[in-house]
């Protein structure tokens, strides 16, 4: 790892040089609706710098909401399929939070561990993550409860931390090094410093070891009913979540030509587990909400060895019925 | 607040209700819908200007229907939905007890739907926010091509989480057209044409039935003002047929009612 600093004037030059290098740069943008989204930008002055968290995560860079797997076409004597992996562009994600970078780590485990997914792999390979440590947090943030913190560098290629009028720059990976290569003169070499006093201190806290332990026997807890009563069964939480990776494969087209696509799916939908026979093993919202929470805190621990919640708080901020994953967890593990 | 809590506790004690749907403060102090199951839980209940969710959507939940005797604390959105749902004969299988708190902080326990109807007609003749009116006027003022562009841009951001459908009390079909795949009427993918199809279908199904609570727009995670589509359609229907959904138990639904004196002659 290399440690550098860059002043706040040079940071915009660095950003604009990334754009000029021909890479697609995705960064937080404030929209008319007052919400902040990751969007492709052309210049530093388009981006939002004062935010706690974006409404949606940056997962669509490696796991798009709709992804073409291949297209097909048929002529009288020929049948052709076409994969467009080579069109996937080099992308830089700017300004994601440490929790989001950690989520990329989880997604890599999910998509790559057993049967490596070539679409994810290609996108991930061509993506550079430039994270910015959090100076502020709100009541929905709980990263420190799930083994992360507002300055954690896990998953990031470069991490920036604002310290007064300069950014402390941790260049963590080879990809990070190559991203600053053409802008080297903007940076000053530095030594390791403590980031602590510049970081946010999330106030919402639980003990993850205790929760993991109690989740083992939480399946039959009657509290699931009460905790999921407010759930209206939409997919907002799953779509905003940086670690929700469920998808649905669909064919769109005719016998002559069309495409196979992969779309986001969500365990909150009543159709999600419905069998062709008509039977639905998750027949109500209680069972669906329980699946979501147990997946995050029990099943993924068993399957991959890590909790698949990074405490970004997006599901809490986005829920139409204001369901709070944090409160839900505490209540279903009580007694 | 205490008055409301005592009233609800009393309703549990005398066996009128087995569940009360209302509002409480969550751990983080946010106002959230809550589901009170007995008199001792009634002390969680609150009612303030921040109680905005339309609670009537929960009356469609199988978990709630099973309980049968259900109380509900109605803000204006909820009350208007209850009127519309009653007129569409959707609440026959639930014994609902309806409460509200008026601006003098008095508890009103409605004896029947007729009283709800009178209350809404007397105190809430208007239900559009200034912000909505302004945006609607702006969209109306655009030339047709610009208006199309405006909505296409909005729809392109839709992620098809169906939160708009999930919070809408008038979207009570047990199987939605989007879930039908033989044939696949509407694409699963959330891309511009599929999104357009979904929003047109949604608006058409709600035309003249939407009670304009604005929940769909409030909950949209990407911030599409979709409630304005149905609001606009309601305005058009009001002009042509003088119907206002959620105001009358008569249930005059312009899109499926025929009167001999109608202007159009095609059906005769």
Looking at residue A202, its pLDDT comes to 93
Query: Of all residues in chain B, what percent carry a pLDDT higher than 90?
Result: 70
Backbone angles phi, psi at B230, to 5 degrees: -75, -30
Token match 């205790």: residue? A210
Q: Do A285 and B63 touch (CB under 8 A)?
A: yes
Q: Which residues of A touch B188 (CB under 8 A)?
A: 248, 250, 263
Angle at Cα B177 formed by Cα A225 and Cα A237, nearest 5°?
40
Give ipTM to 2 decimals.
0.91
> Alpha-carbon torsion B165, B166, B167, B173, what sign?
positive
pLDDT digits (tens, 9 = 90+) for B193-227: 889 999 999 999 998 899 999 999 999 999 999 99
> For residue A195, how far is the Cα from the chain centroid?
23
Which of B160, B166, B223 lies nearest to residue A232, judging by beta carbons? B166
- Is the pLDDT at B63 greater than 70? The verdict is yes
Distance CA A307, CA B196 (A): 37
The nearest CA of chain B is from the CA of A139 a distance in Å of: 7
The nearest CA of chain B is from the CA of A190 a distance in Å of: 41
Please give the interface size between A and B, counted as residue pairs whose CB atoms are below 8 Å apart: 112
Q: Which residues of A touch B153 (CB under 8 A)?
A: none
Which of B27, B188, B222 lies nearest to residue A248, judging by beta carbons? B188
Inter-residue contact A214 to A329 (CB < 8 Å) = no
Environment class of residue A101 by beta-carbon count within 10 Å: exposed (0-12), middle (13-18) or buried (19+)? buried
At residue B242 the predicted structure's pLDDT band, cuts being 50, 70 and 90, is confident
- Please give the residue of chain A at the shortest CA–CA distance from B179: A271
Q: Do A235 and B35 touch (CB under 8 A)?
A: no
> Six-digit token pair at A321?
């019925």
Looking at residue B174, its pLDDT comes to 86
- Please give the residue of chain B at the shortest CA–CA distance from A327: B27
- Please give the residue of chain B at the shortest CA–CA distance from A234: B163
The nearest CA of chain B is from the CA of A168 a distance in Å of: 33
Query: Of all residues in chain B, what percent carry a pLDDT higher than 70?
Result: 98
Looking at residue A335, its pLDDT comes to 65
Taking each continuous run of H as one helix and of E as one strand, the counts in chain B are: 10, 6
Interface test with B, best of A206, A261, A321 (most B CBs within 10 A): A321
- Is the pLDDT at B128 greater than 80? The verdict is no
Euclidean distance between the first and the last CA atom of chain B, given in angstroms as a whole number: 57
Q: Which residues of B touch A327 (CB under 8 A)?
A: 26-28
Q: Do B189 and A233 touch (CB under 8 A)?
A: no
Q: Do B159 and A239 touch (CB under 8 A)?
A: yes
Q: Do B161 and A266 touch (CB under 8 A)?
A: yes
At residue B127 the predicted structure's pLDDT band, cuts being 50, 70 and 90, is low
Looking at residue B145, its pLDDT comes to 97
Looking at residue B114, its pLDDT comes to 96
What are the CB-based long-range contacts (under 8 Å, 24+) for B114-117? B114/B249, B116/B74, B116/B79, B116/B82, B116/B83, B117/B83, B117/B247, B117/B248, B117/B249
Instruction: Identify the CA nearest to A97 among candidates A52, A50, A138.
Output: A52
List, for chain A, all residue ranges whose pLDDT scores fall below the cut of 50: none
Interface test with A, best of B28, B56, B221 (most A CBs within 10 A): B221
Q: Do A322 and B31 touch (CB under 8 A)?
A: yes
Distance CA B118, CA A97 (A): 52
Strands A66-75 and A257-264: antiparallel
Give strand pairing partners of A248: A263
- Please give the residue of chain B at the shortest CA–CA distance from A330: B27
Q: Which residues of A touch B160 (CB under 8 A)?
A: 235
Looking at residue A255, its pLDDT comes to 87
pLDDT digits (tens, 9 = 90+) for A203-218: 988 889 999 999 999 9
Strands B69-73 and B19-25: parallel
Q: Do A284 and B165 touch (CB under 8 A)?
A: no
Looking at residue B167, its pLDDT comes to 97
Query: B262: helix, coil or strand?
Result: coil
Interface test with B, best of A30, A32, A33, A244 (most B CBs within 10 A): A33
- Is the pLDDT at B265 greater than 80? The verdict is no
Q: What is the mean pLDDT of residues B11-23?
A: 96
Q: Chain-wide mean pLDDT for chain B? A: 91
């Amino acid at each position: 790892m290399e440690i550098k600093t860059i002043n706040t004037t040079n940071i915009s030059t660095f950003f604009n040089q990334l754009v000029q290098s021909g890479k697609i740069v995705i960064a937080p943008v404030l929209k008319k609706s007052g919400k902040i989204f990751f969007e492709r930008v052309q210049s530093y002055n388009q981006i939002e710098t004062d935010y706690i968290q974006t409404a949606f995560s940056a997962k669509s860079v490696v796991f798009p909401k709709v992804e073409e797997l291949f297209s097909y076409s048929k002529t009288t004597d020929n049948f052709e399929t076409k994969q467009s992996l080579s069109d996937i562009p080099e992308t830089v994600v700017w300004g994601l939070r440490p929790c989001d970078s950690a989520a990329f780590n989880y997604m890599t485990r999910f998509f790559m561990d057993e049967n490596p997914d070539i679409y994810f792999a290609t996108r991930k390979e061509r993506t550079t993550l430039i994270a910015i440590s959090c100076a502020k947090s709100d009541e929905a943030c709980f990263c420190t409860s799930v083994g992360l913190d507002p300055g954690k560098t896990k998953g990031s290629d470069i991490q920036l931390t604002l310290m007064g009028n300069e950014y402390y720059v941790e260049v963590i990976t080879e990809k990070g090094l190559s991203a600053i290569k053409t802008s080297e003169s903007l940076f000053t070499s530095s030594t390791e410093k403590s980031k602590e006093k510049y970081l946010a201190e999330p106030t919402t806290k639980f003990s993850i070891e205790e929760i993991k332990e109690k989740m083992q026997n939480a399946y039959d807890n009657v509290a699931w009913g009460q905790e999921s009563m407010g759930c209206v069964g939409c997919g907002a939480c799953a779509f905003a979540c940086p670690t929700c990776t469920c998808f649905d494969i669909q064919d769109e087209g005719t016998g002559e030509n069309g495409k196979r696509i992969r779309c986001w799916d969500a365990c909150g939908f009543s159709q999600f587990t419905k069998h062709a026979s008509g039977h639905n093993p998750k027949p109500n919202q209680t069972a669906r909400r329980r699946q979501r929470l147990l997946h995050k805190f029990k099943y993924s621990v068993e399957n991959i060895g890590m909790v698949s919640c990074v405490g970004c708080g997006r599901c809490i901020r986005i829920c139409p019925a204001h369901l709070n994953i944090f409160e839900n967890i505490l209540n279903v593990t009580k007694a | 607040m205490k008055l409301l809590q005592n009233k609800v506790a009393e309703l549990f004690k005398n066996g009128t209700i087995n569940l009360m749907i209302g509002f409480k403060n969550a751990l983080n102090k946010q106002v959230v819908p809550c589901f009170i199951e007995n008199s001792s839980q009634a002390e969680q209940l609150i009612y303030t200007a921040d109680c905005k969710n339309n609670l009537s959507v929960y009356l469609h939940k199988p978990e709630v229907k099973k309980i049968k005797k259900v109380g509900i604390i109605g803000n204006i959105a909820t009350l208007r939905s209850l009127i519309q749902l009653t007129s569409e004969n959707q609440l026959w299988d639930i014994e609902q007890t309806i409460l509200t708190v008026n601006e003098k902080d008095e508890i009103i326990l409605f004896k029947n739907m007729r009283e709800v109807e009178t209350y809404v007609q007397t105190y809430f003749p208007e239900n559009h926010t200034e912000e909505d009116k302004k945006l609607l006027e702006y969209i109306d003022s655009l030339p047709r091509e610009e208006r199309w562009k405006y909505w296409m841009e909005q729809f392109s951001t839709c992620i098809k989480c169906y939160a708009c459908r999930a919070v809408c009390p008038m979207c009570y079909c047990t199987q939605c057209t989007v879930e039908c795949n033989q044939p696949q009427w509407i694409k699963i993918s959330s891309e511009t044409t599929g999104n357009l199809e979904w929003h047109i279908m949604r608006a058409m199904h709600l035309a003249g039935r939407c009670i304009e609570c604005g929940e769909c727009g409030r909950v949209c995670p990407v911030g599409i003002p979709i409630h304005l589509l149905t609001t606009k359609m309601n305005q058009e229907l009001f002009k042509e047929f003088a119907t206002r959904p959620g105001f009358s138990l008569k249930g005059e639904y312009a899109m499926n009612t025929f009167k001999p004196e109608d202007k159009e002659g095609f059906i005769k």
